[in-house]
Structure 1
Amino acid sequence: MFSTLELDIRPGSGIGMFELGSSLWSVISALRTLQHLFPQVEVKFDLENTSTTPVILHLRPYFDLLFSAYHQRLHTICLRKPRDPHPLVSLRYKDSIICSGEEPLVKIKISRTFGPTYPGDELRYPGVWFSFDDDTVSEGLRGSSSHAIADNRSKEVKRIIVTQKDAQDAGRDPLDEVTLCPAMYGDISRAIVKVNNGVVLHFYGPSGPSTSSLYIRLGETTAQDLNIDLGTPSRIYYKDDERMAIHSPSPQLEEESQSTDYFYNYFSHGIDFLISGQTHLVRKIILHSNVPGSPLFQQYKRCPWELEGKPEDDEDDSPPRMRFTDKFEAISHFLSPRDPPPSMVHDRTEYEDNITLPSPTSRLHGYDGVILEVNEASQVVAVMIF
């Protein structure tokens, strides 16, 4: 373990290795390589609505990281107890060290470094504010304090909170989604599923959330196309599980056709592509919701998918859609107004010995061209189109 943890404060942008707008998936992936710095990481979320509520990462002893509810983007960074000696923290702002561990960060030093600001219980500046009590993150986000703070020049800073600069605008909900920032460039902003056809991917870029788009078509897009358009996959996995073939009308033919199929796994986009080993064309597409508490949580980044329905007429440019935030019952009725089709139970932990999850089993519901994987809380954790 390092004797000193060196961090730079970037108002409206981040602290140290943490950048506002980063995805939950990328932050946890990075933390797995930093266990020497953060040996204890707690993931906190609402068990009732895991796909639509904020997620908090608690990194002992210093950080609370708040991620937005829908797109799982780093929204707020809270640095606590900057004088904790395990390890010592050195804080830098631009070219100045404002806290070195041995010397506390006090009110007068903040004022000298950042300049004057509006009166209040905390010292607030665009994109960063300093608190002198130990209230929780949620209390700080509401902007209230239960203790009056005397105008004491030597009052010690207990918490440093970094948010986007526009997060403090009047009338804006402090838990709104993160606004576009460089950490989001290149990520998928929307994945519009066109049943029986494919998926249209829209990407974040400097000009907005739909700077560019990519249409991946079933039976037309090749593995080479994916390499060119999406880059090299995170992993290439050769399919060796043929158990679902038993449900095919011609199981022997199905097994033979699938014996050389392979997956392109794009973990950083939350998408898998099953590719024919014979034609090298895309056969199936799987989009993952990255629902906390589900067996596949953190294997894939959240893919913000939308299931598109049939347009009312040829001139309808805004057909109805259901999104990853909608409950299974609503999506099922959208796909088929009749009763939901029979489902199969799927337990992804049955071959894992030491895994305890609040929702280990899911159900697979099949429709025309679509399979939904649904957890016990009626949240769709994955969509497969074929």
Structure 2
Amino acid sequence: MFSTLEADIRPGSGLGVFELGSSLWNVLDMLRHMQHAFPLVDVKFDPDSSVTPVILHIRPHLDLLFSGQHQRLHTICLRKLRDPNPPVTLRFKETILSSTDEVFRRVGVSRTFGPTYPGDDLRYPGVLFSFEEDSRNDGLKGASAHTEDKMQEVKRVVVTQKSVNDEANDVLDEVAECPAMTGDIKKVILKVHDGVDLYFYPSDTEPVRVRLGVTSAQDLTCDLGSPLRIHYKEDDRMAIHSRCSTEDEDADTDYFYNYLQHGIDFLIDGTAHVVKKIVVHTNVPGSPLFQRYKRCPWEIEGRPEDDEDESPPRVRFFDPVDTISHFLSPREQPPTMLLDRTDEDDGLTLPGSKTRLLGFDGIILEATESTQVVSVVLF
């Protein structure tokens, strides 16, 4: 016996447990803890793009579309209202629109939401009701438009942000700032040999500055809260490449502060307890680290042209690795090593498991075979 899927419509805001503007990382984490309610979830994306829109198909009723750059919930589509596996109860405020006993029809939309512009779909700010089973037919409607039968059954409900001047939201647009983003990172500015500036939502929040060799573990806790995980550094395989044999003598006492919810790791010196390295993660779909960290929207800042330059050049997380490499080292190619993150997990096989490590002065890029940078290390 399937439990009923309870879904309340909040035009321009969300549907059921899903809020527009939520991050892909948060939503997948929530679904992982709600497998009893959502047992079947498919993740769809373009493997050749780091800024691919991601679709979560939660069978059989829900499709969630996330924006390509910032991986924010852009559109919620509820389908197959009459499919009983599980049954759906759809509400708006205190009104039941659809249930096992109530068929949702065109006349019900009009009675609940009021008049709107003529057309096959009924559009209101932040919500659309369609009488077609599949959106792929939308482009053909002009040739064979439905008569506006009051008893037409609603087949799809689509929730999006409220648009300006009632214009339709482009599915490739980014999500506008909204309450669901509060406390999340808006952008991170990486400065080689210096540290990072963390900018948060709301946009008027003062940035948090973390400096290599200066910011302490206590500072991080005060500014960012307690990390989700703390673990001691155990992987010293890179020490063999060190020019100084004594560099990692005390590495056994170093430890990581893992802010998975921000997509950032901080390596803390075990003796001085100050930040020693900073790692930011891009959360590229299909990569071995996908969904371990939320996407960190990082930007690497170059040197300003002069003291009065208020907008120094930058490269961003969605730029190809060759572009970023040239930005960091215009004259020569950096040394490169290969890494396979699936070597330590016998049960994990991925078509693109190997990544390249590109080393520069003070910074390391980790990139996939399809030129997507999956992480950056500052040291």
Q: Same fold (TM over 0.5)?
A: yes
| Root mean square deviation, CA, Å | 1.7
Where does 1:59-74 land on structure 2 (aligned, <5 Å)? 59-74=58-73
2:268 maps to which residue?
A: 275
2:232 maps to which residue?
A: 238
Say if 1:326 and 1:145 are closer, same or farther in 2 by CA, change over 3 A.
Answer: farther
Helix, strand or coil for the counterpart of 2:190?
strand
- Distance (Å, rounded) in 2 between the aligned partners of 1:158 and 1:71: 30
Q: Name stretches of at least 5 consecutive residues in structure 1 with no aligned partner.
A: none
Shift of the alpha carbon at 1:168? 7.3
1:369 maps to which residue?
A: 362
Helix, strand or coil for the counterpart of 1:268?
helix
Helix, strand or coil for the counterpart of 1:30?
helix
1:226 maps to which residue?
A: 220
Counterpart of 1:308 (choices 297, 301, 306) is 301
- Distance (Å, rounded) in 1 between the aligned partners of 2:244 and 2:137: 60
**Per-residue displacement from partner, 1:210-255 (whole Å, max 9, x unpaired)?**
422011000000000000100010100111111111111223x233
TM-score, normalising length: structure 1: 0.95
Shift of the alpha carbon at 1:54? 0.7
1:161 maps to which residue?
A: 158
Give yes or no for contact 2:287–2:353 (8 Å, CA) kept in 1: yes
1:350 maps to which residue?
A: 343
- Distance (Å, rounded) in 1 between the aligned partners of 2:129 and 2:103: 13
How many equivalent residue pairs?
379
Counterpart of 1:173 (choices 165, 170, 176) is 170
2:289 maps to which residue?
A: 296
Matching residue's letter, 2:57: H
**Per-residue displacement from partner, 1:142-173 (whole Å, max 9, x unpaired)?**
89677522211111111000000117743863
1:382 maps to which residue?
A: 375
Q: Which moved more, 1:254-263 or 1:56-65?
A: 254-263
Say if 1:133 and 1:348 are closer, same or farther in 2 by CA, change over 3 A.
Answer: same
- Distance (Å, rounded) in 2 between the aligned partners of 1:126 and 1:343: 51
Q: Which moved more, 1:2-11 or 1:259-268?
A: 2-11
Shift of the alpha carbon at 1:135? 1.7
Q: Name stretches of at least 5 consecutive residues in structure 2 with no aligned partner.
A: none
Say if 1:276 and 1:317 are closer, same or farther in 2 by CA, change over 3 A.
Answer: same
Give yes or no for contact 2:8–2:90 (8 Å, CA) kept in 1: yes
1:58 maps to which residue?
A: 57
Matching residue's letter, 2:213: G
1:84 maps to which residue?
A: 83
Matching residue's letter, 1:163: T
- Distance (Å, rounded) in 1 between the aligned partners of 2:191 and 2:104: 55
Shift of the alpha carbon at 1:47? 1.6
1:16 maps to which residue?
A: 16
- Distance (Å, rounded) in 2 between the aligned partners of 1:219 and 1:139: 58
Helix, strand or coil for the counterpart of 1:79?
strand
Counterpart of 1:198 (choices 195, 199, 213) is 195
2:92 maps to which residue?
A: 93
**Per-residue displacement from partner, 1:4-63 (whole Å, max 9, x unpaired)?**
1111110000000000000000000000011111111111111221x1121111000011
Say if 1:247 and 1:16 are closer, same or farther in 2 by CA, change over 3 A.
Answer: same
2:210 corresponds to 1:216: yes
Give yes or no for contact 2:264–2:279 (8 Å, CA) kept in 1: yes
- Distance (Å, rounded) in 2 between the aligned partners of 1:228 and 1:80: 45
Counterpart of 1:152 (choices 124, 143, 149) is 149
- Distance (Å, rounded) in 1 between the aligned partners of 2:207 and 2:361: 26
**Per-residue displacement from partner, 1:109-156 (whole Å, max 9, x unpaired)?**
1110111110001111100010011124x776x896775222111111
**Per-residue displacement from partner, 1:297-348 (whole Å, max 9, x unpaired)?**
0000000000000000111110000000100111000000123212111000
Matching residue's letter, 1:224: Q
Helix, strand or coil for the counterpart of 2:207?
strand
Identity of aligned residues (%): 61
- Distance (Å, rounded) in 2 between the aligned partners of 1:143 and 1:298: 38
Matching residue's letter, 1:63: L
Helix, strand or coil for the counterpart of 2:77?
strand
Give yes or no for contact 1:289–1:324 (8 Å, CA) kept in 2: yes
Say if 1:171 and 1:151 are closer, same or farther in 2 by CA, change over 3 A.
Answer: closer
Say if 1:147 and 1:175 are closer, same or farther in 2 by CA, change over 3 A.
Answer: farther
- Distance (Å, rounded) in 1 between the aligned partners of 2:125 and 2:170: 16
1:6 maps to which residue?
A: 6
Say if 1:241 and 1:167 are closer, same or farther in 2 by CA, change over 3 A.
Answer: farther
Counterpart of 1:285 (choices 271, 278, 284) is 278
Say if 1:171 and 1:81 are closer, same or farther in 2 by CA, change over 3 A.
Answer: closer
Give yes or no for contact 2:74–2:171 (8 Å, CA) kept in 1: no
Shift of the alpha carbon at 1:363? 0.7
2:103 maps to which residue?
A: 104
- Distance (Å, rounded) in 2 between the aligned partners of 1:25 and 1:374: 20
Give yes or no for contact 1:204–1:210 (8 Å, CA) kept in 2: yes
- Distance (Å, rounded) in 2 between the aligned partners of 1:45 and 1:187: 23
Counterpart of 2:243 (choices 235, 249, 257) is 249
Shift of the alpha carbon at 1:2? 4.9
- Distance (Å, rounded) in 2 between the aligned partners of 1:348 and 1:290: 14
